[in-house]
Amino acid sequence: MRQLILDTETTGLNARTGDRIIEIGCVELVNRRLTGNNLHFYVNPERDSDPGALAVHGLTTEFLSNKPKFAEIAAELRDFISGAELIIHNAPFDIGFLDMEFALLGLPKTTEMCAGVIDTLVNAKQMFPGKRNSLDALCDRFGISNAHRTLHGALLDSELLAEVYLAMTRGQESLVIDMLGETQSEGLGDAPRISLDDLDLPVLVATADELAAHEAVLNDLDKAVKGTSVWRIEAAEAEPDAVAA
């Protein structure tokens, strides 16, 4: 499956009032693996950015003045996203701007070119209701370093979102399986095994002081639940088996 993590930077927040795309970044995943086949454009929007937007992305009118206009990169972008599933954080925003830019050139909407759209913001809100689910917040939650992200950038944000998406959609069990698979593929799966039956393992018996401390903890738990804690119940159930043995 071919997926593209996509992000844009714009001159402002509203495509309907004349704001334009100034940067596009796409990071390619094939079968959930980064391929390095990415796409990145700076785009001359033929207008200034709003002060608020400029503070976010830092791309000045002077810097963008010699960059290609959207019409010059539209065909390459269209070919790149064609047939792929797009993964976007807050998809309506980016799709709205892309659709506006394509419409100015008489081209079809984005969703008519691609195989579908996944909105990671929607997914994050379902996974973490009531929590902050910005890209920075998700990076923190999944332990993904974004220390180098001082300003927003379409390609950088796409790379971060790719890591976030993979973390969001892969459980711990899958991660362990992947690690085991990698270990076996490195030839470690044929390593000699050790029989534990042949080992003389020492058994450490709790001292009287340790048993007393354990009993005190159980007493506190009983008081907290105003009854018998689960640890006493399990211990009582296990005693007949110990006697029978």
Residues flagged as binding site for substrate: 7, 9, 57, 157
Q: Which among 40, 89, 148, 152 is annotated as catalytic?
A: 152
Q: 33 phi and psi, to 5 degrees? A: -125, 135
Residues flagged as binding site for a divalent metal cation: 7, 9, 157
**SS3 assignment, position 27:** strand
Q: Look at residues 115, 58, 57, 119 and name the one whose alpha carbon lies nearest to residue 83.
A: 115
Query: Hey, CA dihedral for 5, 9, 15, 20, is it positive or negative?
Result: negative
CA–CA separation, 11 vs 86, rounded Å? 22
Q: Look at residues 76, 115, 111 and name the one whose alpha carbon lies nearest to residue 92.
A: 111
Active site residue 152: yes
Q: Is 211 left (phi over 0), alpha (psi -120 to 50) or beta?
A: alpha
Active-site amino acid positions: 152
